[in-house]
Structure 1
Amino acid sequence: MAIEDRLYGEDQDVSAPTPRFAEPRLIAIVGPYGSGKSTLVEAILARTDAAREAEATPGKAPTMSVAARFVPATFMRDRYVFVDCPGSVEFRCEADGVLAAADLAVVVCEADPRKLPALQIILKDLEERGIPRVLFLNKIDRLEARVRETLETLQSASRTPLVLRQIPIWRDGIATGFIDLALERAFIYREHAASRVMSIPDEARAREVEARFEMLERVADYDDALMEELLSDIEPPRDRVFDDLAREMREGLICPVFLGAAQRGNGVFRLLKALRHESPGVAETRTRLGLGSDQKTVVQVMKTLHSSHIGKLSLARVLSGGVTETQPLQTCDGRAVKPAGLYDLVGEEAVKRGPAGPGEVVALAKLDGVATGTTLGSRGGRVFSLVDLAVPPPVLAFAVAPAERKDEVKLTAALGKLAEEDHGLSVEADAVTGETRLCGQGEIHLRTALERLAVKFGLAVSQRPPRVPYRETIRSSARAHGRHKKQSGGHGQFGDVTLEFTPLPRGEGFRFASRIAGGVVPKAFIPAIEAGVRDSLGEGPLGFPVTDLAVTLVDGAAHAVDSSEQAFRAAAHLAMREGLVAAGPLLLEPMLAMTLHCPSEATARINAVLAARRGQITGFEPRAGWPGWDCITALMPEAEIRDLIVEIRSATAGVGDFRVKFDHLAPLEGRLAEEVVDRRRRDAA
């Protein structure tokens, strides 16, 4: 590619003689929260011919992104779909489906050490997926440290070498432009306009030579011929340097670093030029995903939406072949599906469209049973799943209920649609507490979901922290007698039982046995007695389900006429009520086994948080494969974990996470137990 073509467009109209790719490219814009992703997208749109719902406002910072935003645009006759992915760890799932079909990711970051762990999470995900990526070092106008020092800091977050493609031109401590190390050209920033080409300033020449040599050294690590030229002091041709840079980036060997200030529009045009010449297209993405070169239809579903007018829409990218409105498709398990229509999304409006070809993003209507992350293919062929979008473990839950009882069915349907649109959400029905729980990735994540319930589905919902499924057991052995006797004319009711209560080891549950001898209680009534005992386990003296005890029928009496199953069942209830009190009720709380991940610098703070919540730390070690991170294991009472993530995120600059599973029931006594029982009695009153 001629150097003149790479310069084409500077200070000129953003049109080009011919497009480089016939198919549109999908570029994911990712990065830590607050680094300026949405601002960069708006700056990109201001420099392109973009089809979007509103004109870009240069310099205006958009509000926090909570959903992936797809924006088609044309730059120098090449078509793109830019996807603005949320930066908060709570909304990371929004990017999962997008990255499964992306050609390249632009990682937006800034020189803020506090955001390094968040940057590391993003880069590690891209590295593991094998997605080509470039880094856009934003807010260069606010940079205080030298770029080289900043790059060294950022390198700690990346396993792939970061290769500086530009260095700033400084004037009075302010970045007024940059030198492109591959082009060996200097550019002066112009606010919200293409930079102006200029000669490299004399005072910057030495820095440029040194920085360019370092860039070439990095590239030569994967090019023996280039390494020989450098060792022989032979200047490599510029075109070959560009080719090497593009190839190594596409193969994931290096991550190029570009500079800019998105809020001012600085560096955006050169970033677009690099994307035009160096980013892969859908053909290379097919190869990376192992699809081969055949033209059978393969479609990857990136996001699920529910439209009030159309119904379910599956936003998908056509990786090969094409899709028409009448074309049957199939899932990986061979199930046949057919879209009810093809649409383009313009803002939030779905617009009918014709067939979609390779590289295009299209909304497929009413594909029942097709979830985000699903791979679809031609009917009759074999379809292989390209990505596994596992539901991440929830870290926070709200118990939700409709404001009006008549909306219960409507709420169930709406929650199902929410979870279908966002696989970071899940809905659980707790069998012990009877609650419906909306589970997610953090407080803002769940509150955003509740807002969508109100706005999109017109549902007023009450929410509160979930109840803790406490249990109770007995402290000691006891014996109790229960007699149910009633005479009201005709046949009466008579049942008499004596039960023996014995505590069981923790986790043993419940056992029932009979030691009746001599037929004092006919065998036919013993199942009714057991049923009465089990009925009473639902709520003990403290108000909670009873567990870990053995109940034995040791004596009783029957009447030849008046005894019945109902009478013995009632007698068992009476004996249970007396015996559970006599055996000394003991409150049990659920303990959860926790695995927590956090940056090493936050470990001491996390330990203090866990200790303050009655946590028992059981292990600590460096997190495997994550330099600078620790893995903490602990036992935590479920009562202390329900809003724990708020403190964890606060102590870790928003990146800490954990997963839990039930471990055992532990006794709870003293003031805390009294408070739990009092609260239960108030709720029941």
Structure 2
Amino acid sequence: MSSTNGRERQGPRCIALVGPYLSGKTTLLEAILFRLGAVPRQGKVSDKTSIGDAAPEARAHGMSVELNAASASFMGESFTFIDCPGSIEFGQEARAALTGCDAAVVVCEPDDKKVPALQLILKQLDDLNIPRFIFINKIDRTESRLRDVLTYLQPASSTPLLLRQIPIWKDEIVRGFVDLALERAFIYRENSPSEVVEMPSDILDREKEARFAMLEKLADYDDELMEQLLSDIEPPRDRVFNDLTRELAEGLITPVLFGSAENGNGILRLMKALRHEAPGVAETSKRLGLGAVNGNGGAALQILKTFHTAHGGKLSLSRVLSGAIADSATVYGGKGQDARVAGLFTLMGSTPQKIAKAEAGDTVALGKLDNMATGETISTVKGTVKQLMKLDVAPGVYGLAISVADRKDEVKLTSAIAKLIEEDPSLSLEQNQSTHEMVLWGQGEMHLRVALEKLQGKFGVQANARPRRIDYRETIRKSVQIRGRHKKQSGGHGQFGDIVVEIKPLARGSGFAFTDTISGGVVPKQYIPAVETGIRDWMGQGPLGFPVVDFTVNLSDGSYHDVDSSEMAFKTAARIAMSDGMPQCSPVLLEPVVAVEIHVPSEATSRVNQIVSGHRGQLLGFDGREGWSGWDTVKAHMPESEMGSLIIELRSATAGVGTFVFKHDHMSELTGRQADQVVTNRKATLAA
């Protein structure tokens, strides 16, 4: 690599912009692109003129619903920025993309109410070992002192927050800043770079104190620097910057800068920090454990995101981790599958621009990799490629039954949903055999709303959505002995089957058991299986209208006719016996109960307990969430019918950050008014 301004060139870099919902990530992207001359003017999300959030769904809702990529050059070096949605409902977008990024800029507001959301993001960066800066946005709107902001932000970070700047206040407004590493003062200028000014005399003491605090934190990981500080020796500026770069890359510190993305303040100072201190693709490849591609210099790429475009087909946004790749190259995936690149593009938001070749560090979109998936590592070297990450997918927490008005569109619907899931793996489709529904699962109400809008807007499929049916069952409380007799004579061979059965309840979860105690051949052996088949056919809809479980039937007696008896006759006799006998067995409704683990900030635990109790839930207890400071995990049993709105209420009670996982646990009796309503609704459905 060649040297530039006394430092090694890092090659093209990829920087993720992450942060809580409404923190201003997309606005920061616009400010960066404008300041770096990549666009002629700074777009606004509110005016629907931004490069990011250009999708119709993002425009309609005024929020990021998928990641956006855009590139620009700064001081001779190339940067691609990946703007990730802030809502937890669209958090899957960042999971794969972050893996291939060199560093992240965590955009946050000086607002203590957003700290839990910030912690979610920082924890994800910790898990992926991604170096990060914090950019405190909207500094022009705060009255809080920066030291107070850092005090409440620090608990959200597992690494020390290292203040890189201090604000210059005038008339209770931040007018500029002092760079603690450079020891220079800057004043913000509207629509222009900040202006270097003489250090204000009233800030000198504060600057010295803040700079020494910064150096002390750096010295925690540099013994020589610590000795210099103890000896009152001013460390060389190069050493300070070297420590900033090394400790950031090693995940020892989180530098903190600030500004106002809307006003373009602090943008160039952030870019200079990224240029000088953020690691490059070589360090990222090493962090991911990428060795030489089969030892022969082939290209290796990480797929960050899959897009299905209206006219260009499938695009796989990818980071080139090593080597170089050209249009029409053949690439190989983790299962040995191959595909030919049909177009190589850079992206400026939703606008692709074709290029001929991409080199290590570049972030590009590859066309028509139909058998390659988000999160996959691909290579130009033939053979099975070592996979650099396992894509963790958040399980669905909110489901809706979906259908099409015209049955001939069902294939089109499933095909379109498959493409949606390729774009966003946190969506999933369940074919529920019990309720005969297609259920689309996602991360919340807005997540599914956007998915349905994409189905129509992008793929031309109008899908109807409604609350999913609950898989109720019924069982019995009493035993009965009943005869089932089927006799029919209509000329020629007739039909004759006669049985006596004992119907008894079984313990919960036992299912169904069939036995026989026939003696003397009163029911010939060849007809006994037909009796069981008839019972099983009937079980699908009991007296209350639901499948029947947890009971046993014993065939104890009966009779037959040499000519008129048949398997069909005994099947019919069995159904008659069940239809007559089951209503006498005191049938009762069973509802599915799930075991749920709810993850919430500790201050919201009491409210969550009330929510669970209000949904007929049984609290099992709570404990600190493992690996999460200031979070709890609440465990409970809840009726599945009460889960539909749980995520909505949970997000409302936790400033949008609460979530849960659940699984079926057992079936429980449901009686009273609620059971009557379920049965009434079922009968209405069957009659329709």
- TM-score if structure 2 supplies the norm length? 0.95
Which amino acid in the other structure matches residue 22 of structure 2?
G
How far off its partner does 1:520 sit? 0.8
Q: Which residue of 2 aligns with 1:32?
A: 20
Q: Is the 8 A contact 2:26 2:45 kept in 1?
A: no
The number of residue pairs the alignment matches comes to 669
Superposed, 1:456-535 pairs within 5 Å as 456-535=458-537
Deviates more, 1:324-333 or 1:221-230: 324-333
Equivalent in the alignment of 1:386: 388
Give the Cα separation in 1 of the matches to 2:684 and 2:44.
57
Alignment of 1:134-533 (within 5 A): 134-292=133-291, 295-380=297-382, 383-533=385-535
Counterpart residue number, 2:541? 539
Q: Relative to structure 1, is the Cα distance of residues 433 and 55 closer, same or farther in structure 2, using a 3 angstrom cutoff?
A: farther
How far is 1:367 from its partner? 2.1
Q: What is the alpha-carbon distance in structure 2 between the residues aligned to residue 118 and residue 58 of structure 1?
A: 24
Equivalent residue for 2:551?
549
Please state how far the C-alpha of 1:23 moved relative to its aligned partner.
Answer: 2.9
The alpha carbon displacement at 1:55 in A equals 4.5
Deviations 1:79-127 (A, max 9, x none): 1111110000000100111101001100001111111111011011111
1:429-461 Cα distance to aligned partner (Å, 9 max, x none): 011101001000010000000000010111111
Query: In the TM superposition, what is the alpha-carbon distance from 1:56 to its structure 2 partner?
Result: 2.5
Q: 8 Å contact 1:20–1:78 — kept in the other structure? A: no
Work out the CA distance in 1 between the residues paired with 2:450 and 2:498: 58
CA pair 221-500 structure 1, distance change in 2 beyond 3 A: same
- In the alignment, residue 97 of structure 1 is paired with which amino acid? A
Preserved contact between residue 523 and residue 558 of structure 2 (Cα < 8 Å) = yes
Question: Which of 36, 43, 47 is the matching residue for 1:57?
Answer: 43
Q: Give 2:124's aligned amino acid.
A: D
Write the letter of the residue equivalent to 2:387. S
State whether residues 27 and 262 of structure 2, in contact with CA within 8 Å, keep that contact through their aligned partners in structure 1: yes
Q: Distance in 2 between matches of 1:94 and 1:191?
A: 34
Q: CA deviation at 1:314?
A: 1.5
2:569 aligned partner: 567
Mapped contact 1:19–1:77 kept (Cα < 8 A) = no
Alpha-carbon displacement from aligned partner over 1:224-265 (angstroms, at most 9, x marks no partner): 010000000000111211111111111111010001011111
Corresponding letter in the other structure for 1:262? A
Amino acid aligned to 2:43 = T
Mapped to 1, the partners of 2:510 and 2:87 lie a distance apart of 43
Please list the CA deviations of residues 113-142 of structure 1 after superposition, one character each: whole Å capped at 9, or x if unmatched: 111111011011111211111000111112
Structure 1: segments with no counterpart, 5+ residues: 6-15
Residues 511-660 of structure 1: matches in 2 within 5 Å? Answer: 511-660=513-662
Q: Contact between 2:290 and 2:388, CA under 8 Å: does it hold in 1?
A: no
Quote how far apart the aligned CAs of 1:383 are: 2.2
Q: Give the structure 2 partner of residue 10 of structure 1.
A: none
CA distance in 2, matches of 1:116, 1:426: 30
How many Å separate the matches in 1 of 2:46 and 2:563? 88
3-state SS of paired residue (2:359): coil
Over 3 Å counting, the alpha-carbon distance change for 1:18 and 1:345 in structure 2 is: farther
Kept in 2: contact 1:18–1:77 (CA 8 A): no
Match of 1:93 in 2: 92
- Residues 69/429 of structure 1: CA separation in 2 closer, same or farther (3 Å cut): same
Q: CA deviation at 1:17?
A: 8.7
Aligned-partner Cα distance in 2 for 1:570–1:381: 60
Q: Which moved more, 1:480-489 or 1:360-369?
A: 360-369
* Residue identity matched to 1:119: L
Percent identity, aligned pairs only, is 55
Q: Select between 221-230 and 374-383 the one with higher mean Cα deviation.
A: 374-383
The aligned counterpart of 2:677 is: 675
Cα 1:216–1:55, aligned 2, differ >3 Å: closer, same or farther? same
Q: Take 1:310 and 1:138, find their aligned partners in 2: how far apart are those partners?
A: 36
Kept in 2: contact 1:58–1:265 (CA 8 A): no
Q: Which residue of 1 aligns with 2:119?
A: 120
- Maintained 8 Å contact 1:19/1:76: no
How far apart, CA to CA, are the structure 1 residues paired with 2:593 and 2:31? 50
Report deviation, 1:333.
3.0
SS in 2 for 1:582: helix
Give, in whole Å, the separation in 2 of the partners of 1:396 and 1:336: 36
Cα pair 2:303 2:318 within 8 Å, conserved: yes
Bigger shift: 383-392 or 30-39? Answer: 383-392
> Quick one: distance in 2 between partners of 1:60 and 1:453?
25
Q: Distance in 1 between matches of 2:661 and 2:374?
A: 23
Q: Residue type of the partner of 2:622?
A: F
Cα distance between partner residues in 2 of 1:252 and 1:473: 58
- Do the aligned partners of 1:331 and 1:376 also contact (CA within 8 Å) in 2? yes
Counterpart-to-counterpart distance in 1, 2:358 and 2:397: 39
**Aligned-partner SS, 2:675:** helix
Q: Secondary structure at the match of 1:126?
A: helix
**In angstroms, what is the RMSD of aligned CA positions?**
1.8
Checking the alignment, whether the CA contact within 8 Å between 1:58 and 1:264 is kept in structure 2 is no
Query: Whole-Å Cα distance in 2 between the matches of residues 45 and 305 of structure 1?
Result: 22
- Distance, in Å, in 2 between the alignment partners of 1:306 and 1:74 is 27
2:29 is matched with 41
Distance 2:606 2:92 in 1: 29
- Per-residue deviation at 1:528? 1.0
Question: What do residues 282-335 of structure 1 show as CA deviations (whole Å, max 9, x unaligned)?
Answer: 111111112246633211001111123332222111110122334332222333
CA contact (8 A) 2:71 2:348 kept: no
Which AA in structure 2 matches 1:38?
T
Render the CA deviation track for 1:619-662: whole Å, top value 9, x for unaligned. Answer: 21111111110011100000001221000000000000000011
Paired AA for residue 276 in structure 1? R
Offset at residue 618 of structure 1 (A): 0.7
Counterpart AA for 2:679: V
**Structure 1 Cα separation of the partners of residues 133 and 10 of structure 2:** 22
The one-letter code of the counterpart of 2:493 is H
2:537 maps to amino acid = D
Taking the aligned partners of 1:192 and 1:424, their CA distance within structure 2 comes to 40
Q: CA deviation at 1:350?
A: 4.1
